[in-house]
Structure 1
Amino acid sequence: MASTAAALLTEAKKWKGYKEGASNHTKFGEWYATLVKDKSFAYAAWCDEYVSYCAYASGNADVVGQYAYCPSHVNFFKNRGQWHKASETIKPGDIIFFDWNDDGVADHVEIARAASAPGATVATIGGNTSSGTAGSQSNGDGVYERIRYRSDILGFGRPAYKAAAPSTGSSGSNTTTPSTPTQKYTPPAFPKGLAPNKATPSAKSLQKALKATDWLGKSVELSDNYGPQTQKAVAGFNAKHGLNNAGVSYDATIGPKGWALLFTLAYG
């Protein structure tokens, strides 16, 4: 029998080349939305949903965890004493968390495909990323195998894998029952009165979420004012997700529904 780390990787590699549907919709999001009984997760940022699904499908849910929010998943490993520094030796099946913004917060997660000595690059497979460096690394369109630099890694969790993969029933189906996630992301309340060309309430939280989803450039300075750059980013987001008001082709106003979806995609 294969080790459960190998079982996780076998499941993960089945999905290589998988592409998301409209509005970030994925099989992994649908599964997680059913698990937590919240339909919004079917359209959320799905890198951790992909890892969690592969863990569940391979019989590793108890040791890998089931999350949609990377910082919560980091805490899962820290609380178990299974968190390791980015500079340490990496093994196949380790759960690698990335910090693109160098702010100490996990932005993305992938699975290590092979061992990596300290200082060496890391072979991974992950979802909601891009096939190369040209696209977004944490809000891409599919499942891809990648080679990652240590400088982008926040740290990694090493699950307490068992000696062998769990047995399956006569039909070959996995009989593991998924565990319940310890935390479900809830978007912040929509700030009443938030609108283009206004500075009250502040647009900074909106801008941060737009940056986290790559709709607003990282170099754009945060401002209380809901100015032209923020408006352009919101208009693009609304158009992609079908949130424009009826008859409006360029809708730069974020509403409560768009606000909730944006923050879920950014931080959920």
Structure 2
Amino acid sequence: MPKAGELLREMSRYLGYHEPPSGETVFGVTFRKRKNLRPEAAFDRGPWCDMFVAQCALAAGGPAMLRLVGDFSLTTAHAAWFRDNGRWRRGAAGIRPGDIVFFDWHGEKELKFIDHVATVEKVFSPDDIQTIEGNIGDSCVRRRRTSAFVAGYGRPAYDGLPSEPDVSLISVLAELGDAPAFPGVVQLGQKGANVRRAQEKLRRRRFGLGPSGIDADFGPGTRSAVMDFQRSQGIEPTGIVDAKTWKALWEAPITV
């Protein structure tokens, strides 16, 4: 049975890894090729904290380890997989080395707003843990974390109990459906309900909005998130929510 120590040893090999100037990471490229995913840019140059976890799990213990730890690019889908398999714990109480810990930088601590994932290396107290994590400052690093932004953690089945994925979560995880009527262009400087709706969709698709979060105010952080989303969908990255972008925010699938 794969062990937590094997995963942590593999992760420690990447400490000091830094994303190249192109933004194309070995974790994103490997994940995409292994699963034959598109569009390429969404993975090759996309947020890679969870793809780092997947690659290290596969290298540390092969498919058996990957089945225990989870094989995801989307942190919200990964957390939901642990939840649906009875291996999710809210908060940080009882956390231990080898657990997969999920963070929400804006403090809502709701699964749907999770931003980041790491692996617990040491526990000094429930409010003081040491992790190994990817995509922090574009690097793989070791960090001391408090519980302030911990949404919860997943416990891989190192104990031998089954933890098979819910197949319905592997292909798509999103509140998808037909987009509401396009309200007109949503762009920098605007405020109000339509800005908030766009921000909520961006957050649920794991595009960071900056320190202000969901505030119904279209500032530079929201513009940057819109551009990142547009690139992931092959839309010209104008930073303006036009009709095509509005529709994609609701209807484009999320591959995990």
- Give how far 1:206 is off: 3.6
Corresponding residue of 1:54: 56
TM-score normalised per structure 1: 0.66
Alpha-carbon distance between aligned partners in 1 of 2:215 and 2:239, rounded to the nearest angstrom: 19
Flag the 1:219–1:160 CA change in 2: closer, same or farther, 3 A.
Answer: closer
Alpha-carbon distance between aligned partners in 2 of 1:81 and 1:187, rounded to the nearest angstrom: 22
Corresponding residue of 1:182: 170
Flag the 1:260–1:44 CA change in 2: closer, same or farther, 3 A.
Answer: farther
Alpha-carbon distance between aligned partners in 2 of 1:236 and 1:184, rounded to the nearest angstrom: 21
Alpha-carbon distance between aligned partners in 2 of 1:259 and 1:16, rounded to the nearest angstrom: 40
Aligned residue for 2:117, secondary structure, equals strand
Alignment equivalent of 1:194, drawn from 185, 197, 206: 185
Alpha-carbon distance between aligned partners in 2 of 1:76 and 1:194, rounded to the nearest angstrom: 36
Alpha-carbon distance between aligned partners in 2 of 1:200 and 1:81, rounded to the nearest angstrom: 39
Aligned residue for 1:203, secondary structure, equals helix
1:8-19 equivalent positions in 2, closer than 5 A: 8-19=7-18
Whether 1:102 and 2:107 are equivalent positions in the alignment is yes
Flag the 1:65–1:3 CA change in 2: closer, same or farther, 3 A.
Answer: closer
- Give how far 1:75 is off: 2.1
- Give how far 1:18 is off: 1.3
Aligned residue for 1:74, secondary structure, equals helix
- Give the RMSD, CA atoms, in angstroms: 4.2
Corresponding residue of 1:26: 25
Flag the 1:210–1:93 CA change in 2: closer, same or farther, 3 A.
Answer: closer
Corresponding residue of 1:154: 151
1:157-183 Cα deviation digits (max 9, x unpaired): 1111268xxxxxxxxxxxxxxxx8713
Q: Which runs of 5+ in 2 are unaligned?
A: 161-166
Corresponding residue of 2:136: 129
Provide the aligned length of Structure 1 versus Structure 2. 229
1:1-268 equivalent positions in 2, closer than 5 A: 4-22=3-21, 24-34=23-33, 35-38=35-38, 39=40, 40-59=42-61, 60-103=65-108, 104-105=110-111, 106-117=114-125, 119-130=126-137, 141-161=138-158, 182-184=170-172, 193-196=184-187, 202-208=194-200, 209=202, 213-218=207-212, 221-223=215-217, 229-230=219-220, 234=223, 238=227, 252-253=239-240
1:160-212 Cα deviation digits (max 9, x unpaired): 1268xxxxxxxxxxxxxxxx871346797888653547789923344443896
| Structure exhibiting the larger radius of gyration computed from Cα positions | 1
1:51-103 Cα deviation digits (max 9, x unpaired): 11111111210111101111221122222222224342322211111122222
1:99-133 Cα deviation digits (max 9, x unpaired): 2222212221100112344x340000101123xxx
Contact kept in structure 1, 2:90 and 2:153, CA below 8 Å: yes
Percent same amino acid at aligned positions?
24
Alpha-carbon distance between aligned partners in 1 of 2:51 and 2:143, rounded to the nearest angstrom: 18
- Give how far 1:252 is off: 4.9
